Amino acid sequence: MSVFVDTSALLAVLDADDEFHPSARRIWVDLLQRAEDLFSTSYVLVECFALVQNRLGIAAVRVLVEDILPVIRVHWVAPEEHQAGVSALLTAGRRELSLVDCVSFDSMRRLGVPDAFAFDQDFVEQGFRLLE
């Protein structure tokens, strides 16, 4: 089974002060023990690098790069996926919904992945299952 890994999950794994940290650590360990196929997008990585560096500092970025990303397969967003995300964002017209989220949803649909390691309810609204 493939599992999509969202920025919200990566932040929660890295940040001990995050409200979802205990759940994130438990889910992360379970995913690693089961050797699940974990994937994310290049857009999530860009978003995650920026947020982690800003909120937690460069040492946390190093942990992300050296300890977490090696077990995540990165799907590099193609121009047509970017455009699909932009179209979805503009169609939704919601301030809280990001381009990164819209591209994530599109990638999950294209790759047939129903499960997300995320703490963002927009995934549920889009018909995906969040890991618990």
Per-residue pLDDT tens digits for 66-123 = 999 999 999 999 999 999 999 999 999 888 899 999 999 999 999 999 999 999 999 9
Distance CA 27, CA 71 (A): 14
Distance CA 95, CA 2 (A): 29
- Per-residue pLDDT at 96: 87
The architecture that CATH gives domain 2-76+114-124 is 3-Layer(aba) Sandwich (3.40)
The b-or-e profile of 38-71 (16+ CB within 10 A means b, else e) is bbbbebbbebbbebbeeebeeebbeebeeebbee
The stretch 43-71 carries a mean pLDDT of: 97
Tokens coding 101: 């989220």
* Domains of the chain by residue range: 2-76+114-124
- Per-residue pLDDT at 95: 86
